[in-house]
Amino acid sequence: MRILVVVATPAEVSLLLSHLTTIGERHGRVTAYGRGAHEVDVLNTGVGMVATATWCSRTLMARDYDLALNLGVCGTFDRVLAPGTVVHVATDRFAELGAEDGDRFLTIHQLGLLDPNEWPFSGERLMNAAPPDNAPLRAFPSVDGITVNTVHGDEPSIARAVERFAPQVESMEGAAFMYACLVHGLPFAQVRGVSNVVERRNRDAWRLPDAIRALNAAALEIIDAL
């Protein structure tokens, strides 16, 4: 099976890479690895939704894949999802795509610029309606996410995000990855390790190493079960 692993930073998958056999560089952003019978290409997009969408589309145009996995960390709005938890982000949206109207925020769909169900959206969200049939993936909590350019760290803005979208997690890349995969008709899964609660920036409370360890172990389980 040909698998594309999409990451924003190499550090988020460093443990996974230690379990793969290096084959070589395909181009400056993609390195080829092997794991058993699988070909595993790792795409390092850089941080943010623009870089993710651009490099995903370029890579998917250059080579055919059977599956794409977006691996990374995320913050959680849902305190049931403790830092160190691995989640499958099954639905996502671009939380900042819209317009301000005084103290109101209107999404791109509420503005009438895009129908809520215009493909690849469904009810204003990007949905993974057919995730891989994979036992380890099914074991992780399935959550709803938002993708942002500015990570939330201010109590009023956090409250507004919760009121508008009721998200469980947030990242800076997820929805862009999902959009690209949906457009290219490629099966995919967005899998993330929770590194922190979304609150006023408090690095002392983050559990980034725990999130990365759990994420990498989960990724290896997913790949080996394919």
pLDDT score recorded for residue 76: 96
**Predicted confidence pLDDT, tens digits, the chain (226 residues):** 999 999 999 999 999 999 999 998 888 799 999 999 999 999 999 999 999 999 999 999 999 999 999 999 999 999 999 999 999 999 999 999 999 888 889 899 998 999 999 999 999 999 999 999 999 999 999 999 999 999 998 899 999 999 999 999 999 999 999 999 999 999 999 999 999 999 888 887 789 999 999 999 999 999 999 9
pLDDT at residue 61, as a whole number: 95
Q: Which residues contact 166 (CB under 8 A, 6 or more apart)?
A: 144
CA 137, distance to chain mean position in Å, is: 14
The full length of the chain comes to 226
pLDDT at 204: 77
Output the pLDDT for position 201: 84
pLDDT of residue 104: 87
Per CATH, domain 2-95+130-224 is 1.25.40.10: no
What pLDDT is stored for residue 52 in this prediction?
A: 98
Q: What is the pTM of this model?
A: 0.95
155-160: long-range contacts (C-beta < 8 A, 24 or more apart)?
155/199, 155/200, 158/77, 158/198, 158/199, 160/105
